[in-house]
Amino acid sequence: MKFYEVNYKVFNCALDKSVKLGFLHKYDYDNNETTLKGYKFYLSNGKKVGVGLSNTGEIINLFNNSKVSGAGRLALNFAIAKGGTHLSCFDGFLRWYYQKFGFECVKQIPWDSKYAPKNWDYKKYGTPDVIYMVLL
């Protein structure tokens, strides 16, 4: 699987189709150009897998909508090879997933409902902590 750089608007359209959109932070590009400065966005052929990466090594919005086994792993390895060194995510499955790649939790912040993603499903996902992880 190959990844190519795209602008945020193209990335955002692919991100909109993510089945786990509630776990991803979607930026309103028109109002956040400064926030997104220093970020590059990558999509796979077919635009089913993507990842964002800052010039400081922050990995954001890794998503996999493909039926290809291991596509998320390929996107994460791509981001690491491009200089990805840290990320944040909700505690739970993602913590254990990223640990398999050498990331370790360095900070954990309790859930705060005022920062909950839009349409968060409390019954399904509960109130997980937000964790910050670095690649060791």
Give the start-to-end residue ranges of the domains of the chain. 1-84, 85-136
Alpha carbon dihedral 117, 37, 99, 20, in 10-degree steps, equals: 30
- Cβ atoms of 54 and 89 closer than 8 Å: no
Single pTM value for the model: 0.88
Q: Which residue has the tokens 């200089």?
A: 83
pLDDT digits (tens, 9 = 90+) for 99-118: 999 999 999 999 999 988 87
For residue range 14-66, list pLDDT tens digits in order.
Answer: 888 775 656 777 666 555 555 677 899 999 998 999 999 999 999 999 999 89
Assigned token pair, 96: 């254990």
Q: Centre a 10 Å sphere on the Cβ of residue 130 and count the other Cβ atoms it contains.
A: 15
Stretch (H or E) spanning 40: strand 39-44
CA distances from 73 to 39, 82, 96 (A): 20, 14, 13
